[in-house]
Structures are given as C-alpha cells and as structure tokens.
Amino acid sequence: MKKNKYSSWKLIKRLLSYYSKKKSLLFISCVFIMLSTITEILSPIILSNFIQNILKYRIIKLKPILYLIFSFMILQILTSYFCYFYTIYFTKISTSIIKEIRKNIMFIALKQPMEIFDQKPISSIVTKITNDTESVKEFYETILSSFLKSIILFSMILISMFILDWKMALISSIIAPSIILIMIIHQYLSKPIIKKTKLLISKFNNTINEIINGISVIQQFNQEKKFIKKINNINNNYYIYKIKTLKIDGLLLRPLLNIISSIILSSIIFITKAFPNKILEMSILHTFINYLRYLNEPLVTIINQQSLLQQALVSFERIFKFIDSPIKIYGNNYSMFKTGKINFKNVYFNYPNTKRKILKNITLKIQDKSYIALVGKTGSGKTTLSNLILGHYPIQKGELLLDNKKINTISNCTLRKNVSFVQQEPTILHDSLIKNVSLNRKIKKKKIIKALYKSQLKELIENLPKGYKTILEKNGNSLSQGQKQLIGIARILISNPKILIFDEATASIDSESEQKIQKILADIRKKSTVIIIAHRLSTIVDADLIIVLDKGKIIEMGNHKKLLKKKKIYYNMYIHQNNNKKKK
C-alpha cells in the first residue's frame, strides 16, 4: 500500500523542520512561555494561602489583603511582559519562515515547465504564494505558539494538581484522552470539507481574474448574466460548505468540552460529599476548582485552533505539492554557441493533455546567419515551432539541434544567452527606460545607452522628460506598438544572441517604426540567425527562406520570388494582403 506523502502528521513534521534553523529563537520563545505559565499558575496558590489564613485565624487583616493585591498585580504585569516577548519572538520566527517558503514557491514557479502554465490558471499560483502562505504564517504565529503555550500550561497545572491531591488530579486527567478523541473525529469530518472550501476560493479567484481580463468581451457579447450566475454558484457552494464546517465546530469543539469539564467537576463534588472523612481543606479545594478552570482554558484553545489547523493543513498540502512538482530540466552543456545553425529532424509535437499533433514530421535545416520567415494561418504551428527552439517544451518525437547540439543537452544559461525572443508586445515595466532594457542584468550603463541608440530610440529618448531615466507607464501605455518592439530589440542587442526569434506585431505599426525595425534586423542578420514569425508578408520579401506552415506541416519553402512563381498558398496569401492594402 502506497504511503500518503501528504498525511497530516507528515505535513506538520515537514513544517516543524523549518525550525531547525531557528533553534535559538525558538528556545528563547519557549523560555518566555514557561515564565508566563509559572506566573499564571501562581495566582491560585497565593489566593489559596490567603483563604487558608482566614480560615485558620478567623480574622481578615489589612496586611495580607495588601500583600494579595500587590502579588496579583506583579504576577499580571510579569505575565503580560512574558507574553509580549514570546509573541514577538514567534512572530519573528514565522515571518522569516514564510519569507523562505515564498522564496521557494517563487523559485519553483520560475523553474516550472511552460506546460504547467498552460494547464493551471495563473491565479491558482498567486493563491499559493499569498493566501496559502498566510495560512502557514497563522500556523507558526498563532496555532503553534498557542499549542505550545497550552501544552506547557496544561502540564504544569496537572503537575500542581497531583501535588495537591493525586486522586482528584487523576479524575481530572480523564479530560486529556477525551480531547484527543474529539480532535481525531473533528479532523476526520472537517478536512474533506475544508479542502472543498479552499478549492472553491481558488475557483472564485480564477473566475474573477477571467472576468477582469475579459471584461470588454463580456460586455460586448452581453455575457454579464452568465458570469454573475457562475459567481453566484461558486458563492452558494462556498456558503454551504462553510456552514457544514461551522456545524462540525459547533458540535465537537467548545460545547462538548464544557460538558466533559462539568462531568469532572460534578465527580469531584460527589466524591467530597460521598467521603466526608476524606474532605479536602477548603483552600486546596478552592485551588483545585480554580485549576480545573485553568485546565479548561488550554484545552479550549487547542480545540478552537483545531478548525484553523485543518484549514492550514489543506494549504500546507497545496504548497508542498507545488514545491515538490518537477521543475524544468535542462542539459549540462555550458559551451557557448559558435553558430546559429538549427536542425529539425522528423519532429512531432503536441501540447500536454491534448492528442492533436500541432507539428507533424518537421524536417528543416537553417544555416547560420540566415534570415528565415515563418508564414501561415492562425494555428498553423508558427509559434509552437519558435517555442521549441526557445526550449520551452520538450520534443516528444524526433530531434532538434542548435549549433549541432541536441537541445535537451544544452544548459538553461547557455540557451538563454544564445537564443533570444522579441514578443509581439514586449512587457514594459513601471520603471526607467534604462532599467527596462537592462532588466537588472549586470551591464554597464554605456552599453545599455549604446543599445538604445542602435535600436533607433534616439527620438523617443529626446522626447521623454528625463531622457532614458524617465519612468515609463505601467504596460507602456504611453508608447506605441513600434516603440515597445524597439525596446524589446534593445534588450536582446546587449546579449548578441546567435539566434533571434522576432514575433512581428499583428496590428499594423506606423511606417516609420517598421522601417526602423527592418533596418535593425538587417544589422542583426550580419551576426545572427534571424527567424521572423511573419504577419505582414511585405516585410519579408528579402528573406533567405520563407517557410509556409499549415496544420502543423511544412507545405511550401523557398524565397519570395520562387514562392510567387509557384502560385500556391504563399502566392494567394500575398495577393490577398496586397488587395486589402489597396482597398484601405
């Protein structure tokens, strides 16, 4: 039988392992918990002595009363003082551990294969980094600290009760196994419900994300009612499962504990009544009843934390499943590319969870420093082909060689330095122009400025209020499509890649920007292999090789003149685009 890697105990054990680096802080926290517990349980003993003196001397003097008041005040101040410090130390521990866990999640997220982002909504990863790690923080900061405090308090009270009267203490200790049984039943009943609740929260976040990102389409096609219904369904299901959780908490937690405590207290009263010759001293009985009340408090805390613990356990499972998920594996060949040669040998490819082949039997040789254009309808396989060259997806069948090296043997570092990609609409950060180009890479300022001017961005720099130090708007809202692509080109000019893939903007860009892009690409072609994912055929007439794709197959290859002479797919596409241009 296969062991559950994510059982509750194994999850808690794994979380506790993070304390190994925080032993000194944990020790200090435990010392403060011990001190606060001692000061807390001393109060009933002082009160017991006071009652004993009254019963003994039958007189109430001012001095003992003042002593009692002073003692209580000192104990309360000390308890508050110690509680404050153990809370501070536990918060320090929890915050540093959460920082480490979030760092791990981000590291894994950045190393995930591209297919993971195809299968999972981005918001589900965001939920793990934010909401689920907050549950872990609550575990360290609240649940664990309360649990430790409660266990120490419970143990010390029980020891004190055994010192006072071991028989009465033995009856009182029956409460411990009862609590363990309640916790086991609670976990068994609540965990699947909490799991479903967390799933619904994630689904809610995904739907909200979908609505916000697609609001223009939703409004355009009058889909508001459909999405309102979808959100309402999720909310209703969440409400149902939340009520189920509250019912379990309401039945199994505090009410049941109060009943058990009442039974124990009744048993003590019954025994003292049934055996009058064994009657305890009034002061001890008073202390005992006080301790029984104190004994309830840590147990009530543990029981109340049980519901939070179950919610946290579900979050732990989600986090650790993600952390344990396989990362993208690259090769260990670190040698830099000497050429920009690309060789596809009978390559077949389909995306994960789909049987449909996106690329079928692709065999293609691309020479160093050649200018290649990929042409075809939407869904023909142009972007997929470029994704394989970038190493984003593993090839299921066939071989892909870059610079005569199998792509799966090339290290990630080497691949990123030698193969670059300019997107249709490059991501523009809310930062200075110079930092948008450097992207925090250790590059000299002179080299960045040189790349900016090489990318024909001189006019943009001169028009910006603070030149290249100007903070650009988020997503580059103040920039044109052409300017964004020129910034994207500036980024790759710094690294001088052997292979450049350029995804041409689908929308028409201004003629000035287009001329600038063509001029830069002509310069890059002298040093690198350039692959254009072409949408406007007028921009690729001087390409060395035009590859026409359809339904994942190469159906035509040749230069512009040869393909026009064939009068097939490429010819029809070119004529169609020209006619549309004339009409405009």
* % residues pLDDT > 70 (the chain): 88
370 close to 448: Cβ distance less than 8 angstroms = no
Q: Among candidates 337, 459, 455, which has minimal Cα distance to 407?
A: 337
**Neighbouring residues of 6: CB distance < 8 A, sequence distance ≥ 6:** 316, 317, 320, 321
Kindly state the tokens that stand for 21: 């680096």
Identify the sign of the CA torsion 421, 427, 433, 434: negative
**Neighbouring residues of 328: CB distance < 8 A, sequence distance ≥ 6:** 111, 112, 113, 114, 412
Q: Which of 41-45, 437-441, 572-576 has the highest mean pLDDT?
A: 572-576
Query: Reduced to 3 states, what is the DSSP secondary structure of residue 342?
Result: strand
* DSSP code per residue over 93-130: HHHHHHHHHHHHHHHHHHHS-HHHHHHS-HHHHHHIII
pLDDT digits (tens, 9 = 90+) for 291-340: 777 776 776 677 667 767 777 888 888 888 888 887 777 788 889 899 99
Check pLDDT > 60 for residue 511: yes
Size (the chain), residues: 584
**Neighbouring residues of 296: CB distance < 8 A, sequence distance ≥ 6:** 257, 258, 261
pLDDT value of residue 4: 64
Check pLDDT > 80 for residue 273: no
**Neighbouring residues of 316: CB distance < 8 A, sequence distance ≥ 6:** 6, 11, 12, 14, 15, 132, 135, 136, 139
543 close to 524: Cβ distance less than 8 angstroms = no
Cα(519)–Cα(514) distance, rounded to whole angstroms?
A: 9
Query: Reduced to 3 states, what is the DSSP secondary structure of residue 584?
Result: coil
* DSSP code per residue over 49-94: HHHHHHHHH----HHHHHHHHHHHHHHHHHHHHHHHHHHHHHHHHH
pLDDT value of residue 51: 66
* Weakest-pLDDT range from 118-132, 178-192, 443-457, 560-574: 118-132
Q: Among candidates 214, 197, 24, which has minimal Cα distance to 127?
A: 197
Cα(365)–Cα(401) distance, rounded to whole angstroms?
A: 10
- Looking at residue 473, the DSSP 8-state letter turns out to be P
Kindly state the tokens that stand for 328: 């993208």
* Weakest-pLDDT range from 211-220, 434-443, 470-479: 211-220
* Weakest-pLDDT range from 62-71, 274-283, 319-328, 475-484: 274-283
- Cβ neighbour number for residue 502 with a 10 Å cutoff: 25
Check pLDDT > 90 for residue 133: no
Q: How confident is the model at residue 279 (pLDDT cuts 50, 70, 90)?
A: very low
pLDDT digits (tens, 9 = 90+) for 490-499: 998 888 899 9
Q: Which amino acid is at 583?
A: K
Q: How far is CA 197 from CA 8, 127, 162, 204, 344, in A?
A: 17, 13, 44, 10, 48
- As beta bridge partners, residue 343 has 365, 401
pLDDT digits (tens, 9 = 90+) for 66-87: 777 788 888 889 989 998 998 8
Cα(581)–Cα(584) distance, rounded to whole angstroms?
A: 5
Identify the sign of the CA torsion 541, 545, 549, 552: negative
Q: How confident is the model at residue 561 (pLDDT cuts 50, 70, 90)?
A: very high
* Weakest-pLDDT range from 37-41, 220-224, 294-298, 522-526: 294-298
**Neighbouring residues of 424: CB distance < 8 A, sequence distance ≥ 6:** 485, 503, 504, 505, 506
Residue, of 412 and 57, whose pLDDT is higher: 412
For 374, what's the count of Cα atoms within 13 Å in the CB-facing half-sphere? 27
pLDDT digits (tens, 9 = 90+) for 154-192: 888 888 878 877 777 777 777 777 777 777 787 788 878
pLDDT value of residue 348: 94
pLDDT digits (tens, 9 = 90+) for 149-160: 888 888 888 888
Q: Which of 46-60, 229-243, 569-583 has the highest mean pLDDT?
A: 229-243
Residue range 265-283: mean pLDDT, rounded? 61
Q: How confident is the model at residue 232 (pLDDT cuts 50, 70, 90)?
A: very high
Check pLDDT > 90 for residue 548: yes
Domains in the chain, CATH or no CATH each: 8-323 (1.20.1560.10), 342-583 (3.40.50.300)
480 close to 460: Cβ distance less than 8 angstroms = no
Check pLDDT > 80 for residue 488: yes
* % residues pLDDT > 90 (the chain): 20
Check pLDDT > 70 for residue 277: no
Residue range 437-448: mean pLDDT, rounded? 86
Cα(499)–Cα(401) distance, rounded to whole angstroms?
A: 13
**Neighbouring residues of 199: CB distance < 8 A, sequence distance ≥ 6:** none
Residue range 426-450: mean pLDDT, rounded? 87
Task: Produce one character per residue of 159-177: b if its CB has 16 or more CB atoms within 10 Å, e if not.
Answer: ebbeebbeebbebbbebee
Q: Which amino acid is at 570?
A: Y
Residue range 49-78: mean pLDDT, rounded? 74
Residue, of 287 and 350, whose pLDDT is higher: 350
Residue range 371-386: mean pLDDT, rounded? 92
Query: Reduced to 3 states, what is the DSSP secondary structure of residue 315?
Result: helix
Average pLDDT value over all residues in the chain: 82
Q: How confident is the model at residue 12 (pLDDT cuts 50, 70, 90)?
A: confident
Between 282-323 and 23-57, two packed helices, what is the crossing angle to 10 degrees?
160
Identify the sign of the CA torsion 146, 151, 154, 156: negative
pLDDT value of residue 1: 41
